[in-house]
Amino acid sequence: MPKHKKKSTETKSQKKQKLLKWVNLRLRTHFVKIDEMCSGAAYCQLFDIVFPSIIKLHKILFTTSYEKEYIKNFILLQNGFDQLHIKKIIPITKLVSGDPIENFEFLAWFKKLFDEHNDKGNELFYDAEKARDYAPICINSPGSNRIPPIYVRPNPNIFDTPKISITANTMNLEKSLEDIDNTEETNVENFVSKLVYINKRMKKMHNVYRSQKKTTDWLITKVKEIEEICAKSLSRTFKSPWLQSLDNILNAQTLHEIWMLNDEHTKKIRKEMDRDHT
């Protein structure tokens, strides 16, 4: 095989692994091959992270192994696209059949859609396993005998307890231990991501507070200057009714007093206007 062809194949393989790692990190799943996404359940839940409540999670068939139920999952996803006016026709037949090329292209497109509309806050605080009631997502691809792991429901009183997968075959013990390590690594990554997000929000709120404080200080300074002008003008023999009204408003203690004073001032102006006309 020519070197350049081998290099392109390796690059595509790396892209597939990155996409699968991206899915596994967000849904806490154990996908190994692209065609294992053929049930459509993973897409539906990823869609729920970005567009909450568009697809009802209780309608998603997570643990199914029948193609007709895979199709139902993809129909739910297509209805979600149509509801949000996303112009994309899902190649359901090809995806359900486990076509690796179609599954790779669709997953790559879906990740772009996810990244465009993703709110980091929703993603960080979205517990994928809890949202699907700790049901395992089917990972059987057509022609494969791979059995999905069965998850033990975690104790809600224990913070971030790692989810231990128990495989049907005892020969997969080593693989199960690797899954535990990956889960712990995922929990750490999620925790760090939450801290980074909270830190950014705190910095943003602090900047808003500083900006508002500057505005408040400036307004207080201007009000004090107006009070000084009113005090100087009212100390003279000629007292302007406008300045007197303004001084009353500045010395008012409640909003109700301000409204009453403003109403009285308006009545005085109308009387003066009526006198001028007569």
Q: Both tokens of residue 168?
A: 């049907």
Q: Both tokens of residue 111?
A: 């990740």
Q: Both tokens of residue 6?
A: 């081998």
pLDDT of residue 149: 47
pLDDT tens-digit series, residues 99-114: 989 999 999 999 999 9
Residues 54 and 129 sit within 8 Å (Cβ to Cβ): no
How many residues does this entry show for the chain?
278
Check whether 88 has a pLDDT greater than 70: yes
Range from 142-146, 148-152, 242-246 that averages highest in pLDDT: 242-246
pLDDT tens-digit series, residues 155-164: 545 444 444 4
Check whether 152 has a pLDDT greater than 50: no
Mean pLDDT throughout 15-37?
90
A 10 A CB-CB count for 171 gives 8
Check whether 54 has a pLDDT greater than 90: yes
A 10 A CB-CB count for 81 gives 17
pLDDT tens-digit series, residues 212-233: 888 888 877 777 777 777 776 6
Distance CA 272, CA 276 (A): 6
Query: Identity (one letter) of the amino acid at 166?
Result: I
Distance CA 182, CA 179 (A): 5
Tell me the pLDDT of the chain averaged across its residues: 75
- CB environment 125-143: b (16+ within 10 A), e (fewer): ebebbeebebbbbbbbbee
Q: Both tokens of residue 122?
A: 């929703």
Check whether 33 has a pLDDT greater than 60: yes
pLDDT of residue 89: 94
The full DSSP string for the chain is --HHHHHHHHHHHHHHHHHHHHHHHHHT----SGGGGGGSHHHHHHHHHHSTTSS-GGGS-SS---HHHHHHHHHHHHHHHHHTT------HHHHHTT-HHHHHHHHHHHHHHHHHH--HHHHHT--HHHHTTTPPPP-PPTT--PPPPEEPPPPTTSTT----EE-SSGGGHHHHHHHHHHHHHHHHHHHHHHHHHHHHHHHHHHHHHHHHHHHHHHHHHHHHHHHHHHHHHHTSSS--HHHHHHHHHHH--SHHHHHHHHHHHHHHHHHHHHHHH-
Confidence of residue 126 (pLDDT cuts 50, 70, 90): confident
pLDDT tens-digit series, residues 254-274: 656 656 666 666 666 566 656
pLDDT of residue 260: 66
Distance CA 43, CA 203 (A): 34
Confidence of residue 234 (pLDDT cuts 50, 70, 90): low
CA angle 95, 96, 99 (to 5 degrees): 50
Structural domains of the chain sorted by starting position, each given as residue range(s) with its CATH number in brackets: 3-144 (1.10.418.10), 217-277 (no CATH)
Distance CA 70, CA 114 (A): 21
Q: What percent of the chain has pLDDT over 70?
A: 59
Q: What percent of the chain has pLDDT over 90?
A: 28
pLDDT of residue 1: 47
